[in-house]
A and B are shown apart, each in its own frame.
Chain A
Amino acid sequence: MSLFADKISIQALVAKEPLALPIIRDTAVKAGFPSPALDYMQDAIDLNQLLIKHPSSTFLVTIEGDSMIDAFIANPALLIIDRALQVRNGDIVLAVVNGDFTVKRYVRKADKVFLVPENKQNPKYQAMEIVDGMEFSVWGVVAHIISSPRKR
């Protein structure tokens, strides 16, 4: 019974028009001198707006490994991948080679396509030529690299 106690013909008591109440919540009214900066307020800087040009085709991925360390991709780093960007010679791309993801520099030289790592310290990373028989596609272009230099 208690369940319906709230229901008591409240309909008859409420105003027919919705009440428009002025509510000041975020900016409490204070008695002191108003801030001289108030007239110069602008929107806060929005990193999304700065870093993401095409929201519907932007994906975040995390990357671990040092094969692109000389291209400023730290280990680990966060990459902003934009699939709407047309790949250009020299872009860093998220590619798929034979079903595996890899992030490398996309280099086209005289009709040949190479995926090039950038780590001078480690000779085990070698450029890979894309040849017939390989399944290769560019998943997206790396638009931005985010890394956090501070040690955890």
Chain B
Amino acid sequence: MFAIVDCNNFYASCERLFQPQLEHQPIVVLSNNDGCVIARSNEAKALGIKMGAPAFEIQTLLEQHQVAVFSSNYALYGDLSHRVMQVLGRFTPAIEIYSIDEAFLDVAHFAFTDLSNYGSAIRAAVLQQVGIPTTIGMATSKTLAKAANRYAKKACKTTGVFVIDSEAKRQEVLEALPVEDVWGIGRKYQIWLDAHNIKTAWQLSNSNLAWIQKKMGVVGLRLVKELQGIACYDLEEQPAAKQGIMTSRSFGHLISEKKLLQEAIATHATRCAEKLRKQDSCCALIQVFIHTNAYRKQDAQYHGVLSIPIPTATDSTSELIQLAMSALDHIYKPGFLYKKAGVYVSEIVPRSQVQLSLFSSKDRGKEKQLHDAMDKINTLMGRDKVRYAAAGISRKWKLRQEKKSPCYTTNVNELLRIKN
């Protein structure tokens, strides 16, 4: 038996936790650079605000209904997500963190308890201990659990739990689920299924298996079996070690100056190095890219990218900055308006397995001390408090995040303040 726990309107709920006056008020959270809507409270959904709507297009609507608008605050969401997962982990060690706001639990060993009550207990714990509302779906396969979750969001708003434990309930859920909303059905299959008059998940689950396999392959076959309640996918408890780490951002406004690009690239390289150190690993390949805004047809377009192999895998900020800067030297072309820059590090190996180069003259011990110290300071005092000068002082390229809430849980200078 699988359960999927899904945080309701997660980003909006995170913001609301620290601004309780927004209870029952519409909230939207915008993407990086305050571009488009990436999260909505139920009240905002009710106003007809669509996912992905560009902020400038709905400006009047937002003002008219006094919608609370937030820039995305990933430090806050990440921290609260981690807390939610920890609470879930106390119920069962069999947990797959599926995304920032969803986790699968294997609840097979609770088969003899009342699963519905069990779900309510999980919900209540997360709500009390972290403050985030969740919805839980349970069924004998992950796909079906997902469907149950979706159903619970609509049909069981107060209890927030739906368990598919009978054929009748499976039918009830699947009949209400449009086929395009089945976990794993993409746009392509939706059109094709629609052409064959398969419009609900129930119809799909009753399709001829041989025909499905012929048309949708083994993945489609598994999907249908999962809908029938036969588990084809297990929990993936150990997420595969990250194959690569990408740090990239669009700029607040288009830039062409090399100096600003250098600052941005150096900052991204810094971030990659921090992430590498955090997971005790090193990378042996660094890739740098810059590109213009492909949507601005009036601008000349350019996309520059270069990868550099690193002889001795590294997690050193200074080394990655140095490499990234030389890569940028090679790909930078003046006269273009750049929209985005990024650094991608890959060929990641555990630090303990790094092979030292015979020709390396670096004092790795000393450098490690330096970076440990920098990481400590930055954890304590806030991101980038201490940084390499290459990452810039002015930081004119920085994100537009005009409506970002404080990092209540991760920065001592931004704690919740109460007037008493």
User: Do A and B truly interact?
Assistant: yes
Q: Write out the residue numbers on chain A whose beta carbons fall within 8 Å of the beta carbon of B86.
A: 55-56
Are B412 and A65 in contact, with the CB atoms below 8 A?
Answer: no
Q: Write out the residue numbers on chain A whose beta carbons fall within 8 Å of the beta carbon of B189.
A: none
**Nearest neighbor of A137 in chain B, beta-carbon distance:** B20
Are B419 and A64 in contact, with the CB atoms below 8 A?
Answer: yes
| A6/B311 contact (C-beta < 8 A), A62-B417, A94-B418 known | yes
A3 partner, pick from B20, B82, B326, B357, beta carbons under 8 A: B326
| A60/B418 contact (C-beta < 8 A), A84-B129, A99-B21, A100-B20 known | no
B199 on the A face (CB < 8 A): no
Of A15-23, A29-37, A42-50, A106-114, the one contacting chain B is A15-23
| A64/B417 contact (C-beta < 8 A), A57-B83, A99-B23, A100-B21 known | yes
Are B420 and A60 in contact, with the CB atoms below 8 A?
Answer: no
A13 on the B face (CB < 8 A): yes
B327 partner, pick from A3, A15, A67, beta carbons under 8 A: A3
| A83/B131 contact (C-beta < 8 A), A68-B420, A100-B21 known | yes
Q: Write out the residue numbers on chain A whose beta carbons fall within 8 Å of the beta carbon of B418.
A: 61-65, 94, 101-103
Of A13, A19, A101, most B-chain CB atoms within 10 Å: A101
Q: Write out the residue numbers on chain A whose beta carbons fall within 8 Å of the beta carbon of B359.
A: 6, 10
Interface code B280-321, partner A: CB below 8 Å = 1, 0 otherwise? 000000000000000000000000000011111000000000
B185 on the A face (CB < 8 A): no
Are B417 and A61 in contact, with the CB atoms below 8 A?
Answer: yes
Interface residues in A96-152 (C-beta closer than 8 Å to B): 96, 99-103, 135, 137, 139
Q: Write out the residue numbers on chain B whose beta carbons fall within 8 Å of the beta carbon of A4.
A: 308
Interface residues in B376-420 (C-beta closer than 8 Å to A): 408-409, 412, 415-420
A59 on the B face (CB < 8 A): yes
- Contact-residue bracket for chain B: 35 or more
**Nearest neighbor of A138 in chain B, beta-carbon distance:** B128
Are A3 and B330 in contact, with the CB atoms below 8 A?
Answer: yes
| A14/B130 contact (C-beta < 8 A), A64-B420, A100-B20 known | no
**Nearest neighbor of B369 in chain A, beta-carbon distance:** A25
B313 CB to closest chain A CB (Å) equals: 11
Q: Write out the residue numbers on chain B whose beta carbons fall within 8 Å of the beta carbon of A19.
A: 355-356
Q: Write out the residue numbers on chain B whose beta carbons fall within 8 Å of the beta carbon of A63.
A: 417-418, 420
Of B311, B354, B365, most A-chain CB atoms within 10 Å: B311
Are B415 and A135 in contact, with the CB atoms below 8 A?
Answer: no
Q: Write out the residue numbers on chain A whose beta carbons fall within 8 Å of the beta carbon of B419.
A: 64-65
Interface residues in B331-368 (C-beta closer than 8 Å to A): 352-359, 365
**Nearest neighbor of B355 in chain A, beta-carbon distance:** A14
Complex Cα distance, B306 from A3, in Å, reads 11
Complex Cα distance, B312 from A139, in Å, reads 50
Of B408, B409, B415, most A-chain CB atoms within 10 Å: B415
A17 CB to closest chain B CB (Å) equals: 9
| A57/B327 contact (C-beta < 8 A), A14-B355, A64-B417 known | no
Are B355 and A102 in contact, with the CB atoms below 8 A?
Answer: no
A56 partner, pick from B23, B129, B311, B330, beta carbons under 8 A: B129
Are B408 and A59 in contact, with the CB atoms below 8 A?
Answer: yes
Q: Write out the residue numbers on chain B whose beta carbons fall within 8 Å of the beta carbon of A59.
A: 408-409, 416
B354 CB to closest chain A CB (Å) equals: 7
| A83/B365 contact (C-beta < 8 A), A3-B327, A73-B420 known | no
B87 on the A face (CB < 8 A): yes
Are A57 and B356 in contact, with the CB atoms below 8 A?
Answer: no
Q: Write out the residue numbers on chain B whose beta carbons fall within 8 Å of the beta carbon of A61.
A: 415-418
Are B358 and A13 in contact, with the CB atoms below 8 A?
Answer: yes
Are A135 and B23 in contact, with the CB atoms below 8 A?
Answer: yes
Complex Cα distance, B120 from A70, in Å, reads 40
Complex Cα distance, B419 from A84, in Å, reads 23
**Nearest neighbor of B326 in chain A, beta-carbon distance:** A3
| A103/B129 contact (C-beta < 8 A), A10-B311, A19-B355 known | no
B308 CB to closest chain A CB (Å) equals: 6
Complex Cα distance, B79 from A57, in Å, reads 11
Residues of A within 8 A of B (CB): 2-4, 6-7, 10, 13-15, 18-19, 23, 25, 54-57, 59-68, 73, 75, 78, 83-84, 94, 96, 99-103, 135, 137, 139
In the assembled complex, 29 residue pairs joining A and B whose CB atoms fall closer than 8 Å, in A order, are: A3-B330, A7-B311, A10-B358, A10-B359, A14-B356, A19-B356, A23-B365, A25-B369, A56-B83, A57-B83, A59-B409, A61-B415, A61-B417, A62-B415, A63-B418, A65-B419, A66-B420, A67-B420, A73-B420, A83-B131, A84-B128, A84-B129, A100-B20, A101-B20, A101-B416, A101-B418, A102-B418, A102-B420, A139-B131
New contact pairs (11) apart from A56-B83, A61-B415, CB-CB < 8 Å: A4-B308, A14-B355, A18-B353, A18-B354, A55-B86, A59-B409, A64-B420, A66-B420, A83-B128, A101-B418, A139-B20
Residues of B within 8 A of A (CB): 20-23, 82-83, 86-87, 128-131, 308-312, 326-327, 330, 352-359, 365, 369, 408-409, 412, 415-420
